[in-house]
Structure 1
Amino acid sequence: MSSSTHKTVLIIEDDPDIRHLLGIRLKHAGYEPIKAANGTDGLRLVHERRPALVVLDIGLPGMDGWQVLQRIRDVTTTPVMILSARGLEAEKVRGLQSGADDYVTKPFGHQELVARIGVLLRRATDEGEPETEYADPRLQIDIRSRAVHADGVNVQLTPGEFRLLLALIQHVGQILSPEQLLELAWDDPTTTNTSRVKFTVLRLRRKLGWDDPATSPIESVRGFGYRYRQIDSDLAVASQG
């Protein structure tokens, strides 16, 4: 894959002014912006151009941004940043639960937006990640290929979910606060929104099939945070029975 492919950013936005100005900002920052004015064209470009990141407006005509996000998540773990005029917490929570990696409300500062895009792209690459594997009775991870198997089942994770899981297994047995997980998994100094951690943990548990608190290796420690606990073979077998 060429370096330009790594820097391709797809903007799916129906407002021509926002689409144009954001494209200029991204180009000046060294990215290759590609643009779509609706969800159908955006999904076509996702398949044809395989962008490194998607900036997605929620209020699209026809197929709205929620539908586009779902279809993107059906086929790829490419980072998705939502743009929306809807600033209610419930909307932000919905976006993060649906698989978005960031949620930015309009109006937004272009410099901050480009900085956030840089953070997402940096975290989505393999730079600095050890080429190794992790395995215990419940979980196997090939960190280089990002392949995850939970209880023998292959699981597809978004980049944010994978980074969170990686942060937890790299600190087995250690309680990590939401603030620590924000730093480890997102490296985003512009936010203190710890609800992002909460809902990513919930989504991660659901995907891994670890909804039962009694047997889930991802443990919530009330008032402190989360930790990954290695489950012994007997409990692992019991949880699958």
Structure 2
Amino acid sequence: MKQPPTILVVDDEPQIRRFLRYSLEASGYAVSLADCGAAALRLVAAGAPDLMILDLGLPDLDGKVVLGQVRQTSDMPVIVLSARADEDEKITALDLGADDYVAKPFGIRELLARIRANLKPQRSTAGSQERLTLGDLVIDIAAHRVDRGGEPIRLTPKEFSLLVLLAANAGRVLTHRQILMQVWGAAHVEDVAYLRVFIGQLRQKIRDNSGGPRLIVTEPGVGYRAIADR
């Protein structure tokens, strides 16, 4: 029998830990708990969980330090759950390797949706996948082609690369810097206005402005997220 995914909750507030343990176990997950950064790192070293929910305001180590140490040995999804709502904090955490950022106070349904999105196999990048889907779009990576209902959508090479990156990481927030580095390279990591232009062009071509549910969502001041299938 397949074991349920294990989620490590790292938070110094006992009521948050109790609430998340109850909610996650009720949703079919196995749960481990840590009340400080050192305990979290010990649990990760003992046997990597499938996903970590990480508070930044820990009593011994800043959560960003914990995140940095985890990323030295593990690529498991990490969702930051923090009362720090400042954009710079969000961007720093995401650039350090967090897969998502949820601000306190939070809704459990939203958090569960983020967990499901980050546990999907597609989070790993396009890699060896030959095809990706995003909403009603079919992206054929080998053929460098995007179809909707059998009708091709013509994209420039950069627009295509941008769409593949977003679709391969559907459900995750990608920062401006992460996207610019992946698609345009290190020389363009500060060209946020340039990225906005390409996102606008891409949305127009895939008809992401037609009044229906968005495929690409703007995370203000942070970056963009492609919506994972529910």
- Identify whether the pair has TM-score above 0.5, normalized to the shorter chain: yes
- The residue aligned with 2:93 is 95
Q: Distance in 2 between matches of 1:23 and 1:64?
A: 22
Q: CA offsets, 1:36-81, max 9 Å, x none?
A: 0000010111111210000000000111101100000111111100
> Measured at CA, do residues 21 and 51 of structure 1 come closer, stay the same or move farther in structure 2, by a change above 3 Å?
same
Q: Distance in 2 between matches of 1:125 and 1:82?
A: 16
- Secondary structure of residue in 2 paired with 1:33: strand
Give the aligned CA root-mean-square deviation in angstroms: 3.5
- Shift in Å, 1:94: 1.1
- Secondary structure of residue in 2 paired with 1:82: strand
List aligned pairs for 1:1-241, cutoff 5 A.
Answer: 3-4=2-3, 7-123=5-121, 171=144, 173=157, 175-176=159-160, 180=163, 184-188=167-171, 196-202=174-180, 204=182, 210-212=185-187, 223-225=197-199
- Secondary structure of residue in 1 paired with 2:18: helix
Query: Could you tell me whether the CA contact under 8 Å between 1:8 and 1:33 is conserved in 2?
Result: yes
Q: Distance in 2 between matches of 1:183 and 1:130?
A: 13
Query: Could you tell me whether the CA contact under 8 Å between 2:123 and 2:169 is conserved in 1?
Result: no
Give the count of matched residue pairs: 175
- Shift in Å, 1:30: 0.6
Q: Distance in 1 between matches of 2:186 and 2:94?
A: 18
- Secondary structure of residue in 1 paired with 2:84: coil
- The residue aligned with 2:148 is none
Q: Distance in 2 between matches of 1:91 and 1:70?
A: 14
> Measured at CA, do residues 60 and 203 of structure 1 come closer, stay the same or move farther in structure 2, by a change above 3 Å?
farther
Q: CA offsets, 1:145-177, max 9 Å, x none?
A: xxxxxxxxxxxxxxxxxxxxxx89665825149
State the TM-score, normalized to the length of structure 1: 0.61
State the TM-score, normalized to the length of structure 2: 0.64
